[in-house]
Amino acid sequence: MDEKMFTPGGMERMQALSDRDNVPYPRGDGMVKLVNTGWLADHLNDSNLTILDVQPDVHDYIQEHIPGAVYLTEGVLRVSNRGFPTTYSPNSCIQEAFRRAGVEADSPVVVYTSKGAFSGRGDGLAQTMMAYTLAKYGHNKVYLLDGGLDAWKSEGLELSQDYPTVEPSNFTVEVRDEYAIGYEEFVRIKDNEGVVVLDARPAKFYEGQGPWRVAGHIPGAINLPWRSLMTDENPMQFRSNAELDIILEEHGVDRNQTVICTCGTGREATNEFVLLKWLYLYPNVRIYEGSFTEWVSRPGSPVVEGPESRERRAETAPAR
């Protein structure tokens, strides 16, 4: 690709092109890395490896899973708090869930999901939701299976209906608060020069549909649907680096900026947070966990309907 296609810093993303074939990807000390099915097949019997199956329904896991995988539903990660529906579970609950799954903070954990063979459900986001949560609460070696169980099955690799014997671990939660950004700080910096806010929801929600009591999006947010970053055939498989470079460039997302990932409830945003922070190694990435659900619950928070251009992102919409 011609260098003139890229904004300042954009060419640095190209360093990842060759590393994609050298798993775990990328090299370095990132908490979350990408692995492919070949890597997992080669390491399936590693004594220190934990494999977490986060398929959408336990019956999907019962019907088929990767040998040795432990089932851990993403449903344990968030609960209602004082009525707000999407807050993270208490530290003690998350700690106990990880302990029962045998997760050790410094031993590698592979996370995968699927479009459930039994339930027919699953959008693919459970992988990045679990990977983000593991890293946020203190895990140091999270491996994301590119393509998930669907890629594993497409290659005719072994499946199992056996349940592994798991000894509870001594995992201790250590929250990395620097990943998330709260409402007050978000409001304070979101319109600053050098800050870009991404909305990972589908375009129809961004423009004004969806279940929220107020339609639209946060003023200034740029719509980058998370699904556009994944292959057409598999919502658990990232597009090639060359394709991702072009998409990020078209949306004005540059590594020299502070990037804040948002969506509807903070779940879709984990896909873009994982990609930018850990796979592309952007230095300043945050996630607004409350996202649009919290935004519209706050009195006076402005909302914009319709497709908003990059040029309009600094404008302030009228308050409700």
Closest CA to 223 of 211, 209, 207: 207
**Residue count (the chain):** 320
CA distance 149 to 79: 27
CA atoms within 13 A on the CB side of 256: 11
Cβ(262)–Cβ(197) below 8 Å: yes
Query: Using CA atoms, how far apart are residues 141 and 143, in angstroms rounded to an integer?
Result: 6
The CB density around residue 213, as the number of other CB atoms within 10 Å, is 7
Amino acid at 271: N
Cβ atoms of residues 274 and 200 within 8 Å: no
263 an active-site residue? yes
Distance in Å from the first CA to the final CA of the chain? 45
Residues β-bridged to residue 143: 33, 110
Q: What is the DSSP letter of 116?
A: -
Are the C-beta atoms of 66 and 53 separated by less than 8 Å? Answer: yes
CA dist 66 and 41 (Å) reads 10
The one catalytic residue among 263, 269, 274, 279:
263
- Residues noted as catalytic: 263
